[in-house]
Chain A
Amino acid sequence: MAKSDDGIRILQGLLVFGNVVIAMCGIALTAECIFFVSDPHGLYPLLEATENDDIYAAAWIGIFVGFALFALSILGIVGVIQSSRTLLLVYIILMLITYAFEMASCITAATQRDFLTPNLFLKQMLEMYQKSETANNNDKWMTEGVTKTWDKLMLQNQCCGVQGPSDWQEYMSAFRHTHNDADFPWPRNCCVMDAQGSPVNLDGCKLGVPGYYNSNGCYDAISGPMNTQAWGVAWFGFAILCWTFCVLLGTMFYWSRIEY
């Protein structure tokens, strides 16, 4: 029996180690999701206007799942050391519920990432940027969010449009209704600005002289942070869940071996 005692001790040690790792991963997941939810790049209004901000929902779920994993792993460590059937049963059931939530979060983040294509943002920009006649308060809120976000994006990233300034020429837009083509072939923020926030050379900008206007598109500046967020939530969560799967299987085996 000494051999099986050793075996059980090793299993206990492994389970405690597994739970410690889960605790640390839980804290990391919470921190990562809080970082994403704080929206450091200011892109949330664009998602809000698509009326499908699942990536943020996934990050919110991630915050709470991280806390739950931390708390439950402490419960698990206590249960393994005390070899208590009740504690471990509670641990397993609560862990499965947390597992289900985290699974939902990962799948949501991965699915919504596929939804965010350049055409989606192009259509949204053309229809909402500087739109003047808004139907209701909700429309007005989303339009203002999109306009402010695009103005900030074009200024900070020195870019114009989704694929380039030609977006404003190739398609009709809400912007075109209020700003005529001769004075504004593209929005003012597409011009290279000086320190005071006015165009360095307005005529050069309107002509499209390289150096006086931003000729590259903003899609990279949008999709970069969103990809990081989606993959960060989805794949880190996936890694945690794989590890948790092993720990839970080990715990179930351990539970069935406890004499009551």
Chain B
Amino acid sequence: DKIEYTPVLASSALGGRTTTSTFVLEQPRCAFTTMQDRAIIWLVVAVPDAVPDFNNSVGPGTPERAFQGFPTNASAYMTLNTTLLNYPCPTSPGDITVLRVGSETSCAKDESRPTCNGPLPGPGPYRVKFLALEGSEPVAETAWSEPITLRTAQSSNLIPMTDGRHSAGMVALTSILSILFAILLAGLVAMLVFWGSDACGGSSTFSKPEAVTVQRYNTHHVYDQPAARL
């Protein structure tokens, strides 16, 4: 019989809620209330086209419901079988009650494991529901979920590489330094051009501390005297 419960994705606080090949569902806690403990609850994952004429009696493990044939040969697969004991009600607060669909990578290509919880082959969309079987008799099922679409990875070539625009600081720094350097070069040129010419000296030049001109002048004078006496 039909249970008024719709499978829903886990809370968005989980970073890995949907990835490119997995998604995380909330466990159907407190949904199967009038059930025997013997029944086995399966998760059915299907493409949306298979939902209208889905046959509950087709058992898990048949080629029509094998994960390895999904979605080409099998329009739905069944996995994550467990008993009601694993979905106790009520939930203790603080528990993370989720089911990760797509986490078993070891059996994804193993044909002998048709109920493998393998990674989803594409971004979807997919619709899921929970189906309880007793033996091979369906006894209870939930509603179908809303379509679940997984993430798609874009190529890294699409990352925009806009040229780093020049910041104002860099422009200011470059222009000020260039102007200062130009002034210094002009000053150097002015220095070299007027080297030797006292035109700019005027009356404000100063003499160096050591005055060296006096001695030579005396020597010259002394040598002149003997020549004059002869």
Using a CB–CB cutoff of 8 Å, the interface residues on chain A facing chain B are 1, 4-5, 8, 83, 89, 92-93, 96, 99-100, 103, 106-107, 110-111, 113-117, 119-120, 122-123, 126-127, 165-166, 169-173, 176, 180-183, 185, 203-204, 206-210, 213, 215, 234-235, 238, 241-242, 245, 248-249, 252, 255-259
Contacts and interface: CB of A to CB of B under 8 A. Distances in A.
B205 A259 contact: yes
Contacts of B176: 238, 242
Interface of B: 13-17, 19-22, 24, 96, 98, 100, 102-105, 118-119, 151, 153-156, 158-162, 164-167, 169-170, 173-174, 176-178, 180-181, 183-185, 187-188, 190-191, 194, 200-201, 204-209
B-side interface mostly: loop
Nearest to B10: A207
A122 B209 CA distance: 67
A188 to B, nearest CB: 14
Contact of A245 (B15, B167, B183, B200): B183
Nearest to B21: A181
Contacts of B166: 111, 114
A180 B121 CA distance: 12
Given A93-B188, A166-B15, A181 B161 contact: no
Contacts of B17: 208
Contacts, number: 162
Contact of A119 (B15, B161, B165): B161
B185 A96 contact: yes
A176 B164 contact: no
Given A169-B19, A182-B102, A207 B14 contact: yes
A248 B187 CA distance: 9
Question: Which 7 pairs from chain A and chain B are nearest by CB?
Answer: A208-B15, A208-B16, A110-B170, A182-B119, A114-B164, A126-B156, A115-B164
6 contacts: A93-B188, A119-B159, A123-B159, A166-B15, A208-B17, A238-B177
A120 B154 CA distance: 16
A114 B167 contact: yes
Contacts of A123: 156, 159, 161
Contacts of B183: 245, 249
B184 A206 contact: no
B191 A252 contact: yes
Contacts of B177: 103, 106-107, 238, 241
Contacts of B16: 185, 206-208
A257 B206 contact: yes
B25 to A, nearest CB: 12
B103 A170 contact: no
A93 B191 CA distance: 11
A103 B177 CA distance: 7
Contact of B22 (A122, A181, A213, A245): A181
A118 B174 CA distance: 24
Given A166-B15, A207-B14, A183 B185 contact: no
B117 to A, nearest CB: 9
Contacts of A213: 15
Contacts of B98: 207
B144 to A, nearest CB: 24
A81 B16 CA distance: 73
B20 A122 contact: no
Which of B13, B156, B162 has the most chain A CB atoms closer than 10 A to its own CB? B156
A182 B19 CA distance: 8
B14 A99 contact: no
Which of A106, A110, A182, A209 has the most chain B CB atoms closer than 10 A to its own CB? A182
Given A100-B181, A206-B100, 12 more contacts: A5-B206, A110-B167, A114-B165, A116-B164, A117-B164, A172-B155, A172-B156, A176-B153, A208-B14, A235-B173, A256-B200, A257-B204
A55 to B, nearest CB: 13
A127 B159 CA distance: 11
Nearest to B119: A182
B184 A96 contact: yes
A81 to B, nearest CB: 10
B105 A256 contact: no
Contacts of B170: 107, 110-111, 113-114, 234
Given A238-B173, A252-B187, A182 B208 contact: no
Contacts of A114: 164-167, 170
